[in-house]
């Protein structure tokens, strides 16, 4: 991933961020059933939401993220909501 600082601005390449987001989805899929990795799963879902924010997409409309949260809830007996991962500045 390339990050450039330009006159007090930060530019992040969209292609790299989309690739990173796909890798994070894969990680969530791999750790979904491992209860001892709850913190890692929550952090990973938060990173996905943050990447959506950086890319300018509406996190609340990310159906894939909603689906992952629902699967995690059913597998783990938790009650996480998309708003738990919603990041906005």
Q: What is the pLDDT of residues 49-86, one digit of tens each?
A: 999 988 888 888 889 999 989 988 888 888 988 888 87
Is 77 part of a structural domain of the chain?
yes
Listed residue (65, 38, 69) closest to 53, CA to CA? 65
As for how many domains the chain has, the answer is 1
Single out the residue of 65, 62, 55, 60 nearest to residue 18, CA to CA.
55
- For residue 8, being part of any structural domain is answered with no
Query: Is residue 9, in this structure, part of any structural domain at all?
Result: no
Domain that holds residue 51: 14-84
Query: What is the reported pTM?
Result: 0.81
The reply to whether 25 falls in a domain is: yes
Question: Would 4 be classed as within a structural domain?
Answer: no
Q: Is residue 2 part of a domain?
A: no
Mean pLDDT value across the chain:
85
Q: Mind listing the pLDDT tens digit for each residue in 21-34?
A: 999 999 998 988 88
Pairwise CA distance, residues 3 & 1, whole Å: 7
């Amino acid at each position: 991933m390339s990050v450039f600082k330009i006159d007090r601005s930060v530019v992040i390449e969209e292609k790299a961020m989309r690739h990173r987001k796909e890798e994070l989805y894969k990680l969530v899929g791999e750790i979904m059933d491992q209860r001892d990795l709850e913190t890692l799963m929550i952090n990973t879902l938060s990173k996905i939401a943050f990447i959506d924010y950086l890319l300018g997409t509406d996190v609340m409309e990310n159906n894939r993220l909603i689906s992952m949260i629902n699967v995690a809830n059913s597998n783990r007996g938790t009650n996480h909501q998309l708003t738990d991962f919603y990041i906005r500045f």
